[in-house]
Structure 1
Amino acid sequence: MSPPPVESQVQVLTDLYNSIQNARHFPRDLLKTATVSNALPLTSPSLSLYSQQLKDIAQNLRSDAVQTALRAAQDSAKADGKNITNNVRRENRKRRRPPSPESPQPYTATEQQSSSLFSSSKDDVAPLKSQELIEYIRQFNKEHSSCKLGIWQATRSSSKDLKNPAILRFSIKDVLTTYLTVSYTADDPTLSVESVTAFGPRERKLPHSQSEYSVYRTLSQEFGRMIHSDPQVGLQRFMTLLCSYENMFTMRCEKCQRVLCAEGHVAAVQRVWNENKEYWEARHVSC
């Protein structure tokens, strides 16, 4: 007698599978055959129906058609089922799982780089102390004919005591006037620049006010940005920056090669230190 077609065997097993899945919704105590008589009476019509369906499933499972289909499926799996997984859903889930993150790497200490925008060629100059300021001003004025540095006082006073903080007045003839606030501490007498405000050469303004001209207001903002990059910048290093503004209204921008920028027609008030050539490059803020 020839075996039944494969299609009929598949259909027999499919029907058996559906009936078993349907039986999963039966009352749980009914499936425990050992405690059926104690748990629930079978006098209920619905329970009698469930019981009859379970008997039908058992009888169907022992039938020749189902047993033949099961043996055929088992033989087919042994013949060519080496690469067949028994849980395709789980395999797909594993495949979709994102890769595990890399293990944390040990911390590697990196050398902190200075964010200062000031020149580094003056680092070998000894920091200026508060008691050396007067002599430094005298020497500076001797070496610079077009620039002048002095101590600013609100009123004409004969007192020669240096206040802390002190306000210095720096000017370049026909170019600008700036007021520098410098200070020191009792533990460290080294002078540091706290703030700088720029004005026009003929403006009569107090150090804590602001200029009427946008170019000098922009210049004051640039000074603030420079100080923010190095809050402990010394007076000597800052003076090298101020002296670079002697030709502020004639120097060309290193980027666009224009004296005035295309937008706003403002001079190149920004300065960038060139380490290779060791000089301050003029640039427009917009460049």
Structure 2
Amino acid sequence: MSPSPVENQLQALTDLYNSIQNARHIPRDLLKTAIVSNALPLAAPSLSLYSQQLKDIAQTLRSDTVQTALRAALESAKSDSQNITNNVRRENRKRRRPPSPESPQPYIVTERQSSSLFLSSKDDITPLKNAELINYIRQFNKEHSLCKLGIWQATRSAGKALKNPTILRFSIKDVLTAYITVSYTDEDHPLAVESVTAFGPRERKLPHSQSDYAVFRTVSQFFGRMIHSDPLVGLQRFMTLLCSYESMFTTRCDKCQRVLSSEGHVAAVERVWNENTSHWEARHVSC
């Protein structure tokens, strides 16, 4: 089946378009020289190829087939020019352009979530002030048989007046000894725990030193992370954590149910507050 006249015209225009596109690859300076050489009687041999290519394009453009196809295309465009554009490169660039980013959205103020690792309720314990510290220590020692809390002083001749900050000595028989540093900004503000350092029950160390045993150094590091999560944590709230270490070397980990961890063979020295059961759960560092 022979092609229709319209197909012949489309093929002629396609061939002409391809010839012009090939001529675009000729360097601009050589293209200008080749155009001038067509008007000269003798052209340089190196330009004969480009000159011949331009002559072929011009001859094809003047042919009856191409002229007929161009006139048919022009008449078709005049009769129905909707959605026709001659800027092909511009359309291609627009299609490749990434979508514009969305407009900035207004900032929405959200309620800041507490990062404290202590029990979430803040109304269950009344903040303790400096003037109430002595009475609190006496009451604490009455209520606990294994745990003891007292004020640590550097020398026996030290005065009875409490200093700011104050260092407290907490001990659990045959388990650990901890030095607690508490301070306050003024008399009307509650006491806050600044630092806690843990030692073995028979170690004779100063509060600013560290334990000779890795397990108690790990406990001190955990206390530091707890204080960092709530820098204003009160003494009473922290004491609930310290009292959970009464059975530190015999308590099973809440996750793996082992007394000693499978890695390092260390006791469950970390604690996680459980809101459902309202108590501190023991955890290994690796759990």
| TM-score of the two chains, using structure 1 as the length reference | 0.78
Tell me the residue number matched to 2:93.
93
**CA–CA distance in structure 2, aligned partners of residues 158 and 71 of structure 1:** 113
Q: CA deviation at 1:93?
A: 2.5
C-alpha RMSD over aligned residues: 3.9
- Residues 1-30 of structure 1: per-residue CA shift (max 9 Å, x gap): xxx977886687679779989799587xxx
Please name the residue that 1:281 is paired with.
Answer: 281
Shift of 1:146: 0.8
Which 4+ residue blocks in structure 1 deviate beyond 6 angstroms?
Answer: 4-8, 14-24, 57-63, 78-81
1:260 is aligned to 260
Structure 1, unmatched stretches of 5+, are 28-44, 47-56
Unaligned runs of 5+ residues in structure 2 are 33-41, 44-56
Instruction: Give the CA deviation at 1:280.
Output: 0.5
- Asked if residue 119 in structure 1 is aligned to residue 119 in structure 2, the reply is yes
Is 1:163 the equivalent of 2:152?
A: no
Contact 1:122 1:237 in 2 (8 A): no
Q: Is the 8 A contact 2:130 2:187 kept in 1?
A: no
Question: C-alpha distance in 2, partners of 1:180/1:211?
Answer: 15
- 1:19-98 to 2 correspondence within 5 Å? 67-75=67-75, 77=77, 85-98=85-98
The SS at the match of 1:248 is coil
Number of residues paired by the alignment? 273
CA 110–180 in structure 1, closer or farther in 2 if over 3 Å, else same: same
1:181 is the counterpart of 2:184: no
Deviations 1:163-190 (A, max 9, x none): 1111100000011000001111237542
Partner of 2:193: 193
What is the CA-CA distance between 1:76 and the residue it aligns to?
5.2
- Residues 11, 136 of structure 1: CA spacing in aligned structure 2 closer, same or farther, 3 A cutoff? closer
Q: Work out whether residues 12 and 66 of structure 1, in 8 Å CA contact, stay in contact via their aligned partners in 2.
A: yes
Identity of aligned residues (%): 79
How far apart, in 2, do the equivalents of 1:239 and 1:228 lie? 16
